[in-house]
Chains A and B, each alone.
Chain A
Amino acid sequence: MGQKFKVIGSRAPRVDAPDKATGRAVFMDDLEFKDELVGVILQSPYAHARILDIDASAAKALPGVKAVLTGRDLPEIKYGVSPARYDEELLARDKVRYVGDEVACLAAVDLETALEALELIKVEYEPLPYVLTVEDALAEDAPVIHDAFPGNICAEVHQEFGDVAQGFAQSDFIRTDNMLNKRQDGAFIEPHRAVAVYDLSGGLTLYSSTQVPHYVQRTVSMVTGLDVGKVRVIKPYVGGGFGPKAEATPLDMCAAFLSIKTGLPVRMSYTREQVFLHCRARHQFNHTMKVGFKKDGAIMALDHQCTLEGGAYSSFGIATVYYAGSLLGAPYLLPNMKYDGLRIYTNKPACGAQRGHGGVIARALFEQQLDLVAEELGMDPVELRLKNIMEAGDVSCNDLAMSSLGMKECIEAVANGSDWQEKRGKLPPGQGIGMASGFFVSGAGYPIYRSETYHCTVTIKVQEDGGTVKVMTGAAEIGQGSDTAMAMIAAEAIGIPLESVRIVSGDTDHGVDLGAYSSRTTLMTGHATKQAGENVKDKVLTALAEELNVEKDRLDIVEGKVRIQGDGVDIKAVRQKYLKEHRGWEGMPRGEELTFSEAARVAYLKFGTIVGTGKYKPPVLGGKFKGAAVGTSPAYGCSAQVAQVEVDLETGQVRVLNITDAHDCGKAINLTSVEGQMEGSVSMGLGECMFEEVKFDDKGRVLNPSLGEYHIPTVMDMPRMNCIVVESNEPNGPFGAKEVGEGAIMPTIPAILNAVRDATGAAVDELPLTPERVLKAIMDKDKE
């Protein structure tokens, strides 16, 4: 790479960490508004029912209640995530489709009054037959959940790349395997929350714990009918998102309507139980893969079917069902690939996007299958993977272009880092070691709605009195570290220390930013930030060149100092002018070099306030086939992991002993943050692999809607992780950077599965790895 960076590539502490460590960071619940009301939502107790009548009169009459709304009070507008599937209405008018579907909302002076009023709303339901599983939903006489989607088929994908029949004909071996996971919950620690403030000039300010202020602004505007320019969405600090916060929630819209109706601020929150009911998290996937390969290990063809249990609404599900297929196109050379995907409506909460969107279970099966193939061929799993590995410059059969790809380096790094050669096949009974790889997009190539919009715009303003700059972006810091990454990129681009950069983000007034999803922020907002920084630098140097009467290309700013090429430039006049303006001040610039402060002051005095702007949208990417938009990205990050496990062969209890993890994130903007994403990804993957499962009773009610009963990894569950950051130079990324937040989850489940198989000889085809399931697999294996 050769380029010496001054700010990026370091382990600078996060810019938001001191506030978060001391309790000063402001989250939704820490905001207070004068005379704020509390809003609550009435939800359906039935999985599927017709609404015959709603009587809200008693609730409206309760003292302290300020407004009650039902579906009949709202404009008849359908919304959702994908414009092709707007299948949600804010409050049900005719029919509820899952236990938790929204029926009414109200605002009152306090929570006690609001909850009391909720019980006074009388809803007459006519319960309807319901379906809770894919099989039941696809049965011939199944009840139809949405009239517009007969057969309960929400989305259907049929793709073929290359010639799969010929690929199988050329194969020496063919095998077919399955994998079934369970519905997962996002389980971010802060539930969704929103406060809407409608003002007297007809503007609505919505504070929301969202990943996507921009899409929330659009959805709220569309549903309420307010001009989009009158809706401002502000995201304070957010307590984690992971996907399920990447769309407008009923809280956002109900709070908006209730504030419009009452003229007062309205605060709404989901309880933890309501988080499970809103869901929008990982689908249940049922994958079947038939793979053909040659004696030498070359993969020839993949025929893949997948059915997704989607819940009552589409949410992100159209993208999910496409991703479930497209994300197998890499990182192995796979010349022929066929995919048939189905997303099915059921009378359960809607599933949506979650870390590793759509690709995690497909990856789990495919990587387990590769190990089974390796065994059939008598090859080492590492060797088989390296035999088929893609490299930078390769394009997958479904047109995903690997502009950089350190996949081989990641595999080699984890093989070395885990002592693979010394351990594989040589561990004591009950212990095993397994490896897997994966990759993910660095930002979706297209916005969710069809548009030529920029994916982000960034403004950097230089403070008029000198040295510091302020980065303004709509990007959503949700814990992943985007504020820090953008501040570092701005500092690097301008040539100033990180301390000279302040950042404000997460506000739609700062510009367009599509938000924190599809691991897009570092690459996309990073590009716009870099460009805005370069724009600032150019303006400052233009002014200074004029003032000093030198050619601009002789000037540069490095670490906050002005570097001048060649001799004969007299800086004294500029210095004197600056010192005169600051008579009596301490800490004034000294020495031979001008400072950025002096240069910025010169620029202000010449041009007025200096503002740099940047923008980014990806070039036209990917193939022309239907669904080509899902999976295309300007760049791809990739990961490999090795898991070592211990299995109690008597009980089936699995313990993960350690994980060796390597990720190619392009140029690491902040090494500590990169490792943080890698470690967090492993923990989320480990939870899903080992114990996470949202359970339902036979009436469609969630049985474990709490963090006590829905087990996410605690500190006791986590093994030691050895994280190795592999840096490639991504030509399409700012300073060579690309994603880390989601690619890093891809190998975790299959690495554990492969380790369990190494330990027991049994391939488990259903998640999570409960002791019963593992023990059964071991016993079945012994029977063979």
Chain B
Amino acid sequence: MKKHHINLTVNGKELELLVSSNHTLAQVLRKDLKLTGLKQGCEVGDCGSCTVLLDGSPVNSCLVLAVQAQGREVTTIEGLAQGNEMHPVQEAMVEHGGIQCGFCSPGMILSAKALLDKKPDAGREEIKRALSGNLCRCTGYQKILEAVEDAGRRMGRS
């Protein structure tokens, strides 16, 4: 398979990578960069576990080819916490019990962050729409919604 040089920013770090043209962003992040926080539950864009932010917007990284990330800014779950200090969405998910098995959590948290970055005072319906592409089989979503609402309040204050 043909290889390509791409330049991209991952979690604030500028990188130059050599990637196969058929490799997805999910594969490159997980295998080449060892950013294993994103999870793969279906590999066809149904479950949302592999969500990362591309220029601040959530994408299923299993549906994005690595070459499409050329010149763009990628944020993965590893890029949220500052050292030991978790992002408000992460903190709220921990405190409200929004995490059970944890497999959907990284993607869920990133989808929530993308929304709250733009609109920390987003209402419940807006939050639901923003999370509608992230499947969770454990929680019934209620504690996730409570967590995201609370995170919005925390982010609005700061």
Interface residues of A (CB under 8 A from B): 11, 13-14, 16-27, 29-30, 186-191, 237-240, 242, 271-272, 478-481, 672-673, 675-676, 679-684, 706-708, 712-716, 718, 720-721
Contact = CB atoms under 8 A, between A and B. Distances in A.
Nearest to A269: B40
A679 B137 contact: no
B44 A479 contact: no
Contacts of A239: 39, 41, 49, 101-104
A237 B100 CA distance: 11
A479 B135 contact: no
A189 B140 contact: no
Interface string B67-94: 0000000001110110000100011011
B106 interface: yes
Contacts of B38: 23
Contacts of B132: 714-716
Interface stretch (B2-10, B114-122, B142-150): B142-150
Question: Most A CB atoms within 10 A — which of B80, B101, B109?
Answer: B101
Given A22-B77, A712-B135, A27 B99 contact: no
A676 B145 contact: no
A130 B91 CA distance: 54
A187 B137 contact: yes
B131 A23 contact: no
Contact of A673 (B80, B97, B128): B97
Nearest to A18: B94
A17 B93 contact: yes
A17 B131 CA distance: 19
Contact of B36 (A18, A30, A680, A707): A30
A188 B97 CA distance: 18
B21 interface: no
Given A29-B39, A189-B47, A17 B99 contact: yes
B42 interface: yes
Instruction: Rank and list the top 8 A-B pairs by shortest CB-CB distance, nearest first.
Output: A23-B37, A479-B101, A20-B102, A239-B103, A679-B140, A683-B140, A23-B77, A672-B97
B102 A707 contact: no
Contacts of B103: 27, 188-190, 237, 239-240, 479
Nearest to A30: B36
Nearest to A481: B100
Contacts of B81: 22
15 contacts: A21-B94, A21-B102, A21-B109, A23-B38, A190-B101, A190-B103, A237-B103, A239-B39, A239-B49, A271-B43, A707-B42, A708-B42, A708-B45, A713-B140, A715-B132
Contacts of A29: 30, 36, 39-40
A706 B138 CA distance: 18
Given A271-B43, A682-B140, A715-B132, A14 B94 contact: yes
A27 B49 CA distance: 13
B61 interface: no
Contact of B102 (A237, A675, A679, A684): A237
Contacts of A272: 41-44, 46
B137 to A, nearest CB: 5
B136 interface: yes
A681 to B, nearest CB: 8
Contacts of B104: 189, 239
A676 B44 contact: no
Nearest to A242: B137
A22 B145 contact: no
Given A20-B99, A480-B100, A706-B46, A676 B137 contact: no
B42 A237 contact: no
Given A240-B137, A676-B97, A718-B142, A24 B46 contact: no
Interface residues of B, number: 54
B13 to A, nearest CB: 16
Most chain B C-beta atoms within 10 Å of own C-beta, residue among A24, A676, A716:
A676
Nearest to A24: B37
Contacts of A271: 43
A272 B46 CA distance: 10
B139 A680 contact: yes
A14 B96 CA distance: 10
B37 A22 contact: yes
A333 B68 CA distance: 64
A235 to B, nearest CB: 12
A723 to B, nearest CB: 8
Contacts of B78: 22-23
A708 B96 CA distance: 29
Contact of A707 (B47, B95, B100): B47
Nearest to A659: B140
Pick the most buried of B47, B86, B99, B135: most chain A CB atoms within 10 A of its CB.
B99
Interface of B: 30, 35-47, 49, 76-78, 80-81, 86, 90-91, 93-97, 99-106, 109, 128-129, 131-145
Contact of B105 (A21, A675, A679, A720): A21
B99 to A, nearest CB: 5
Nearest to A23: B37
A584 to B, nearest CB: 25
Contacts of B142: 679, 718, 720-721
B77 A478 contact: no
Given A676-B138, A706-B46, 15 more contacts: A18-B94, A21-B94, A22-B80, A27-B103, A189-B39, A189-B47, A239-B49, A242-B137, A272-B41, A479-B101, A479-B103, A676-B100, A680-B139, A707-B46, A715-B131
B145 A715 contact: yes
B90 A189 contact: no
Given A22-B37, A715-B131, A721-B142, A237 B93 contact: no
Contact of A189 (B37, B97, B101): B101
Contacts of A675: 97, 143
A712 B42 contact: no
Chain A CB count within 10 A is highest, among B80, B104, B137, for B137
Interface centre among B78, B106, B132, B139 (most CB of A within 10 A): B139
A21 B132 CA distance: 19
Residue of A22, A240, A716 ringed by the most chain B CB atoms within 10 A: A22
Contacts of A238: 101
A189 B137 contact: yes
Given A240-B103, A715-B144, A680 B138 contact: yes
B87 to A, nearest CB: 9
Nearest to A679: B140
Nearest to B128: A715
A679 B143 contact: yes
A721 B135 contact: no
Contacts of A24: 37
Given A16-B102, A23-B78, A715-B144, A707 B135 contact: yes
Contacts of A21: 86, 90-91, 93-94, 99, 102, 105-106, 109
Contacts of B35: 23
Given A22-B78, A707-B47, A188 B101 contact: yes
Contacts of B76: 23
Contacts of B77: 22-23
A718 to B, nearest CB: 5
B106 A23 contact: yes
A684 B136 CA distance: 10
B43 to A, nearest CB: 7
Among A11, A684, A715, find the residue whose CB has the most chain B CB atoms closer than 10 A: A715
A189 B43 CA distance: 11
A188 B77 CA distance: 21
A680 B140 contact: yes
A141 B102 CA distance: 49
Contacts of B140: 679-683, 713, 718, 721
Contacts of B131: 715
A24 B38 CA distance: 10
B48 to A, nearest CB: 9
B97 A25 contact: no
A715 to B, nearest CB: 4
A18 B85 CA distance: 10
